[in-house]
Each structure stands twice: as structure tokens, then as C-alpha cells.
């Protein structure tokens, strides 16, 4: 997660812009407080930002500043089981930063001063129940098919998983906005790992049609898994276009 500060100079007046840029694989809830502007105004905003998202959270004319901005932030990463430990800090921007630290940023197609406020290593492993901890330990293991000892478990295993939310939680109404996709993706990844453990060669993932967010997330996760041989997303006689076949 980064905070980008951009200074735009023009013949009329200069403008300061502040962006949040989530370069991590996690979703974040961020609380931003910016001080240093005329009339002792303190700007405060809470923003929920998804992985890969760029969000402008503040802008002001340069002449409205009493002094260079001071930014107080709290960034809380979210895993499949809820919030991880929050990361807090303060950024004191200086005039020379726009000269010495300003670099070209592809995301805004312009120069900006970039501050890293939450790198993966800052919270990876701090919560044993969180997604960050699971991912860290997953990377330590080499993925390979294991010898099958429990044939009864294999017989009971259903290679098809339906990711519609009502199949995964007891009360859909209690799922907070933005958490549904994380819950569904976690259920898919758990199902895939179980299939690999049991030596299953293919699974079907029912994600529905809808807006396509879940389908894209499932395909992206599967294609980046070292044990997945092929991902097939096309019309199926039984599931139509609402499912993806994954060969292991």
C-alpha cells in the first residue's frame, strides 16, 4: 500500500493531490488525516480500497497551505477472516521531497512522491488465522500430489463446489460489503488444495455468471497455482457458462 503525493504546476496555480495506491494482494481499510491547510482545517477520510486500486482521496490548491502537509494514516489489511493488525504512521512532507524524491509513477502517468505505508512483510504472519499467515506458510511448502491413504475420504469428496454465498455461510445478511468475494475465493482455494491432496485430477467450480468478478478471481487464482495444469472456462452441458473446469 502506498500514498502518492502529486504536485501539478500550471500558469494559474499549483495543485496538490493525494492518492492511495494498493499494490498488495490484500484489501485495506484506511483512515487518513491531513493537516497543514488554511483556517486550521483538518481533512479526514476513511476509505476501503481493493487490491490493485488507485484512489484519489484529497486535493487542494497550493496557496491554501499554511505549511507542507502532515499525513496521519491507519491502514488495516483484511483477510478472509476479517481485519489483520492495523499499521499506523505519520508522513511529514517537505518542499525538497518534490525535487529529490519525486519519481514517475505509471499508475497516474506522472511524477509523484511515493511513501510505502504497508508492505506485505509488515503484517505477514502476525495473525495465525489470517490469510497473510496462510500465504506465507503456503510458499514454504512445495506443492506435490501425495500418496492416497484414505480411500473413504476420496469417495466422499465432491469434485464440484458451488460458490454461491448461501452455500458457504449460515446468514448471508451478516456478510459485510466487500467480504463476500474473499469468503468465496477462500472456499475455492480450500477445495482446490483438498483435491490436490487426494489426487483428484479435475474439479468444477460453480461461480455463476453475474458481473464476472468471482469468475475472474477464481481463474486468476487457479492459473497462478503451480499444481494446476489447465483452466477451462467455456460452455458446459450441465453448468452452462456459470462454471469453470480446473485440471490438476
Q: The domain that contains 219 carries what CATH number? A: 3.30.1370.110
pLDDT at res. 151? 66
Judge whether residue 3 has pLDDT over 80: yes
Q: Are 125 and 133 in contact (CB under 8 A)?
A: yes
Model confidence over 175-209: pLDDT tens digits? 887 788 889 999 999 999 888 878 888 999 999 88
Burial of 47 per CB tally in 10 Å (0-12, 13-18, 19+): middle
User: Which has more pLDDT, 67 or 164?
Assistant: 164
The cell numbers describing 45, all together, are 477520510
Q: Is the pTM here over 0.85, yes or no? A: no
Residue 32's pLDDT is: 85
Bridge-partner residues for 161, per DSSP? 205
Supply the pLDDT for residue 97: 85
Residues 105 and 176 in one domain: no
Tell me the average pLDDT of the chain. 79
In a domain, 130, yes or no: no
pLDDT of residue 155: 80
How many distinct structural domains can be found in the chain?
A: 2
> Does residue 123 have a pLDDT over 60?
no
Are 47 and 84 found together in one domain? yes
**Residue 27 pLDDT exceeds 70:** yes
Q: What is the pLDDT of residues 50-102, one digit of tens each?
A: 888 898 888 877 777 777 778 888 888 876 666 778 888 998 888 788 888 88
Q: Cell 512483510 belongs to which residue?
A: 121
Helices (H) and strands (E) in the chain, counts: 6, 14
Average pLDDT estimate for 24-35: 83
Domain end point (choices 123, 152, 179):
123
Which alpha helices (H) appear in the chain, and where do they start and end? 97-100, 120-123, 131-140, 151-156, 180-198, 213-223
What is the percent of the chain where pLDDT is above 70?
A: 81
The number of angstroms, rounded, from the C-alpha of 194 to the middle of its chain's C-alpha atoms is 24
Closest CA to 236 of 245, 227, 247, 224: 245
Per-residue confidence (pLDDT) for residue 161, from 0 to 100: 94
CATH of the domain at 45: 2.60.40.1600
Q: How confident is the model at residue 150 (pLDDT cuts 50, 70, 90)?
A: low
| Boundaries of domain holding 216 | 142-247
242, part of any domain: yes
Amino acid at each position: 500500500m502506498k500514498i502518492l503525493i502529486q504536485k501539478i504546476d500550471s500558469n494559474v496555480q499549483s495543485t496538490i493531490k493525494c492518492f492511495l495506491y494498493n499494490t498488495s494482494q490484500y484489501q485495506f481499510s484506511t483512515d487518513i488525516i491531513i493537516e497543514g491547510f488554511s483556517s486550521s482545517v483538518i481533512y479526514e477520510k476513511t476509505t476501503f480500497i481493493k487490491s490493485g486500486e488507485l484512489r484519489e482521496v484529497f486535493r487542494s490548491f497550493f496557496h491554501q497551505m499554511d505549511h507542507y502537509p502532515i499525513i496521519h494514516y491507519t491502514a488495516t489489511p483484511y483477510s478472509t477472516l476479517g481485519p489483520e493488525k492495523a499499521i499506523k504512521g505519520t508522513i511529514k512532507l517537505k518542499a525538497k521531497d518534490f525535487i529529490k524524491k519525486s519519481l514517475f509513477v505509471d499508475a497516474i502517468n506522472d511524477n509523484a512522491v511515493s511513501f510505502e505505508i504497508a508492505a506485505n512483510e509488515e503484517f505477514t504472519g502476525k495473525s495465525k488465522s489470517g490469510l497473510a499467515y496462510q500465504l506465507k506458510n503456503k510458499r514454504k511448502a512445495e506443492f506435490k500430489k501425495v500418496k492416497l491413504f484414505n480411500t473413504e475420504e476420496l469417495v466422499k469428496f465432491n469434485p464440484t463446489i458451488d460458490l454461491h454465498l448461501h452455500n458457504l455461510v449460515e446468514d448471508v445478511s451478516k456478510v459485510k460489503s466487500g467480504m463476500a468475494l474473499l469468503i468465496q475465493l477462500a472456499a475455492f482455494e480450500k477445495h482446490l488444495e483438498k483435491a490436490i491432496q487426494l489426487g483428484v485430477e479435475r474439479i468444477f467450480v460453480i461461480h455463476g455468471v453475474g458481473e464476472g468478478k468471482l469468475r475472474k478471481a477464481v481463474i486468476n487464482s487457479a492459473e497462478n497455482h503451480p499444481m494446476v495444469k489447465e483452466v477451462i472456462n467455456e460452455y458446459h452441458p450441465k453448468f452452462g457458462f456459470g462454471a469453470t473446469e480446473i485440471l490438476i
